[in-house]
Amino acid sequence: MTVSVHTNQSALVALQNLNKTNDQMAEVQNRINTGYKVAGAKDNASVWAVAQGQRADIGALSAVKMSLDRATSIADVSLAAGESVSDLLIELKEKVVAAMDPSIDGTSRAALNSDFRALLRQIGQVIGNAEFDGANILNGSLSANIRFLANADADAYVTLGVKNMSLGGAIITIAAAASINTATNATAVLTQLDASIANVNSALGEIGAHAKQIEAHNKFVSKLVDTLESGIGNLVDADLAKETAKLQALQVQQQLGVQALSIANSAPQMILSLFRGG
């Protein structure tokens, strides 16, 4: 090897190795600080692009879950109200059957009719208050079934059926102005009441089936989000135990590199000994 005061090849090599070690240390420290082995497109463009796409899907699925949570709440409120209506119809039947008794006097019949009318009003109030976030599927305010998001592309839906339980409608056929002030009226109301009870129970069964489907899909979406997050972690998360061990090794290499550079820098001083006298 040529010994020169102008070019110190050993020092250049030592400096290159030290710079390489410093660059590696910077990368490892960045992974430890961020927790990512792929924190940006510069680290690994293809992996970063895939991870960003999955993050976009997770964001979209969060909106889907919000929609399904709203669907669950609407269904729960509707079921609670519908079950109350079913119970009230059962109470109505007791009043109606009692009013069909030809032996009761006018005072008792009037009292039964008053209770009957009060129960009808209560049914109307329950149905009117069966609302969540502006949606009521029981009072006839909605003409079509409600659709909720089912996937990240917003091109698939789950449906919650509308069931109009307003008095005098197709499900509860008893009119709001119905009366049992006579045995004849009570007999006519009983026929409507029996049909209404069957209709309400059938409608509640359909709402319950829709609610169960929505709940199951909501759980699936939650699991899908967890799976996607795990997949992203597999792509971009750093193994901190491994990175810490690597950092310690690089710190030793850095110290050795500094010493090697110091030795290489002192090599030209040997030239001075050539000019010293014996």
Distance CA 99, CA 186 (A): 6
Beta bridge pairs of residue 17: none
- Averaged confidence pLDDT in the chain: 90
User: What is the arithmetic mean of pLDDT over 220-246?
Assistant: 89
Name every residue whose Cβ is closer than 8 Å to that of residue 151 and which is 6 or more positions away in sequence: 64
Average pLDDT of the residues in 265-278: 69
Confidence class of residue 36 from pLDDT cuts 50, 70 and 90? confident
Q: pLDDT tens digit string along 84-140?
A: 999 999 999 999 999 999 999 999 999 999 999 999 999 999 999 999 999 999 999
DSSP secondary structure string for all residues of 105-123: -HHHHHHHHHHHHHHHHHH
Whole-number Å distance between alpha carbons of 119 and 89: 8
Taking only the tens place, the pLDDT of each residue in 174-215 is: 999 999 999 999 999 999 999 999 999 999 999 999 999 999
Which ranges of the chain would DSSP assign to H, the alpha helix? 9-34, 45-99, 106-128, 183-236, 240-266, 270-274
Q: Answer for the pair 136, 142: CB distance below 8 angstroms, yes or no.
A: yes
Q: What is the mean pLDDT of residues 12-31?
A: 83
